[in-house]
Copies of this chain bind each other. A is one copy, B any other.
Amino acid sequence: MLESLYLNLAQHDALSDAEKALLAEAMTFERHFAVGQDIVASGARPTHSTLILDGLAARYKVLENGGRQFTSLQVPGDFVDLHAFLLKTMDHGIVAMSPCHVMFADHSRLRAITEEAPHLTRLLWLDTLVDGAIHREWIVAMGRRSKTSHLAHLLCELFVRLQVVQRTNGMSFHLPLSQAELADVLGLSVVHMNRVIGALRKIGVVNWANHTVTILDWHRLQEIAEFDPTYLSLTREPR
């Protein structure tokens, strides 16, 4: 059941059986969320952290004028609100973008891990650091990439992240986001989002239909995106 989490953590450094057991013990109960449901509400003070077993979720903030901005996409194996373990108060919400199967880890047990399992603690810490690295990459994309490049970068990132947790199918993956939702990822209007997707399609690097993205020319897509996966810390080394 926790296979995705193990894969996610183990991509950075070896994970021992004892550590896997500790993680498994930290889990209390599981739950399903329907599309559009809040997994964690903004302003909440969770006593659990949420692990995605299956589905796609997203962090978001809403502004007074109704504008919404997603600040991250979370795939299976991601601890979507591990940061709340120390941050305490959620400054943003987390919503299910597809039906989500999640599992909750008790904060008290996470705390016990920090007291007794330093290496595992570092791996969990690292997990949140990669999160931060992804955020930085998004900032760069929003600030200085062309919109086409930004979208290409997002696709590269998602493909790699999904591949790690074995959610890709050859060069294809499922992307259950409407163009309106994608627009709230890239910070665009829906109309312009549509233009940008069209541009990427026209170049012929991706096939995109039925919420399934197929990368036709990975090399070229990576080039358009200037995608360098270093920030995902994919190398396995002592941490």
Contacts and interface: CB of A to CB of B under 8 A. Distances in A.
A230 B89 contact: yes
Interface stretch (A28-36, A98-106, A131-139, A160-168): A131-139
Of the listed residues A43, A114, A137, A140, the one surrounded by the most CB atoms of chain B closer than 10 A to its CB is A140
A235 B45 CA distance: 13
B135 A139 contact: yes
Interface string A73-113: 00000000001001111011000000000000000000000
Interface stretch (A49-57, A141-149, A170-178, A209-217): A141-149
A126 B71 contact: no
A138 B92 CA distance: 13
Q: How many A residues are at the interface, by size bracket?
A: 35 or more
Given A142-B187, A144-B69, A92 B129 contact: no
Contacts of A61: 136-137, 140
B88 A233 contact: yes
Given A59-B136, A140-B71, A144-B63, A126 B86 contact: yes
A181 interface: no
A72 interface: yes
A44 to B, nearest CB: 12
A121 B128 CA distance: 14
A139 B136 CA distance: 9
A122 B126 CA distance: 13
Contacts of A129: 83, 86-87, 128
A69 B132 contact: no
Given A114-B121, A121-B121, A139 B139 contact: yes
A226 B64 contact: yes
A125 interface: yes
B187 A136 contact: no
A202 interface: no
B139 A69 contact: yes
A68 interface: yes
Interface of A: 43, 59, 61, 63-64, 67-69, 71-72, 83, 86-89, 91-92, 114-115, 118, 121-122, 125-126, 128-133, 135-140, 142-145, 184, 186-187, 226, 228, 230-231, 233, 235, 237, 239
